[in-house]
Amino acid sequence: MSIRPAPSERSLTEMSRDRLRETLAALGEPKYRADQVYKWIFARGVRDFDAMTDVPKALRQKLVEGGYTIGRVYVERVRESVDGTRKVQFRLSDGAAIESVLIPMPGGVFTQCVSSQVGCAMDCQFCYTGKLGLSRHLTAGEIVDQVVTARAAVPPEGRIDHVVYMGMGEPLHNFDAVAESIGSLCDKDGVALSHKRITVSTSGLVPQIDKLGQTAPVNLAISLNATTNEVRDRVMPVNKRWPIEALLESVRKYPLPPRRKLTFEYVLLGGVNDSDEDARRLLKLLRGMAARVNLIPWNPFSGPAYERPSDERVRAFQRILLNRGLTATVRVTKGLDIDAACGQLGERPAA
């Protein structure tokens, strides 16, 4: 399969609502029939034409005989952490594996962290996925289907109410499919999320940040992780192309809807970027922005040796930001026991 696979022509899950209407029109069906089928697939999550009880049998038959299918990702395994986080491993039609994480939030809802690529090309040094390299981009259908399919892994009283593009891959490296998937996730007859419940996280692809701002009013998160170009060049090679100044200039222009803030993720690597001096530089860099900082003590994986900073160091770093009025939270590490924490996603080789 190529690095940018074409959507499957016969998979209804790969179709936008307009394309589904065209496909069914070619079979002699009116627009409202396509809308019924669309709702069954994306709002109700059915995978079997026979479950579409208000769709005439003759049409269901035509779809089966025409070789049409539903579903692009297949749940292979769900692991549940002691803290309620669930890691869902999906198998794709070409045999590749991706992961998605369901994070329990107050009120019985879940935030889903979706993947946008198989592996990642960005090579951030603190990230397990980065160590895998990029195998291929996901199609829009494969991204959306992670959300549709993961509902089965949520307890009956819960629901997925926020989607964050922070799983495997750099979403803005796969811009077109990600933009299309956002459009599908927000369709009111399908998954029906609002843009304000979607967050795209990037390592800092500047031209695509500008493009995203013109495309969809979603929340933006920047994976910053350093306060000098010298350190950021080392831990995030993307910085050599778009250094901190260029990144922040583009972020300052991002058309944030009123009352929303930009999120800056900052993985704290012991002895690398976690000093008081770093905290003070961070304050300076973000001065004047509607921003919040999410501090993430590094999650170990069997890769290069960084150190997780002590809890005291993390608190001291956070205090410096808070004392100057910057919203700064420490991400509670979830799913560590099932390798579902930030930077840990990716299929492990068999033992």
Structure tokens at 227: 């306060």
Rule CB under 6 A: choose which of 127, 140, 179, 182 binds ligand SF4: 127
Q: Contact, 143 vs 177, CB < 8 A?
A: yes
Element (H, E) at 26: helix 17-26
- Exposure letters 272-295 (e unless 16+ CB within 10 A, then b): bbbbeebbebbbebbeebebbbbb
Q: Point out which span in 88-96, 97-105, 166-174, 295-303 binds ligand SF4 (CB under 6 A).
A: 166-174
In the complex with ligand SF4, the residue whose CB is nearer, 123 or 187, is: 123
In the complex with ligand SF4, the residue whose CB is nearer, 335 or 343, is: 343
In the complex with ligand SF4, the residue whose CB is nearer, 213 or 237, is: 237
Which amino acids are annotated catalytic? Answer: 99, 342
In the complex with ligand SF4, the residue whose CB is nearer, 169 or 297, is: 169
Q: Point out which span in 1-9, 46-54, 163-171, 333-341 binds ligand SF4 (CB under 6 A).
A: 163-171
Q: Contact, 167 vs 114, CB < 8 A?
A: yes
Rule CB under 6 A: choose which of 5, 7, 169, 297 binds ligand SF4: 169
Q: Does position 174 bind ligand SF4 by CB under 6 A?
A: no
Closest by Cα among 321, 271, 267 to 297: 267
DSSP, collapsed to helix, strand or coil, labels residue 142 as helix
- Give the footprint of ligand SF4 on residues 251-280 (CB under 6 A): none
The residue nearest ligand SF4 at its CB is 130
- Give the footprint of ligand SF4 on residues 220-249 (CB under 6 A): 223
Rule CB under 6 A: choose which of 34, 37, 73, 124 binds ligand SF4: 124
- Exposure letters 312-331 (e unless 16+ CB within 10 A, then b): ebbeebbebbeeeebebebb
Q: Contact, 244 vs 285, CB < 8 A?
A: yes
Q: Point out which span in 19-27, 75-83, 100-108, 116-124 binds ligand SF4 (CB under 6 A).
A: 116-124
Q: Point out which span in 126-134, 175-183, 293-301, 328-336 binds ligand SF4 (CB under 6 A).
A: 126-134
Element (H, E) at 159: strand 159-165
Structure tokens at 323: 């004392």
Using alpha carbons only, give the angle 20, 50, 42 rounded to the nearest 5 degrees: 40
Closest distance to ligand SF4 from the beta carbon of 99 (Å): 11
Q: Does position 170 bind ligand SF4 by CB under 6 A?
A: yes
In the complex with ligand SF4, the residue whose CB is nearer, 149 or 202, is: 202
Rule CB under 6 A: choose which of 130, 141, 297, 309 binds ligand SF4: 130
Q: Site for ligand SF4 (CB under 6 A): how many residues?
A: 13
Q: Does position 203 bind ligand SF4 by CB under 6 A?
A: yes
With tokens 């952490």, the residue in question is 81
Q: Does position 129 bind ligand SF4 by CB under 6 A?
A: yes
Cα 19 from chain centre: 24
Closest by Cα among 114, 132, 93, 85 to 13: 93
Rule CB under 6 A: choose which of 20, 37, 113, 122 binds ligand SF4: 122
Amino acid at 204: G
351 DSSP 8-state letter: -
Q: Does position 143 bind ligand SF4 by CB under 6 A?
A: no
Which residues of the shown chain bind ligand SF4 in the complex (CB under 6 A)?
Answer: 120, 122-124, 127, 129-130, 168-170, 203, 223, 343
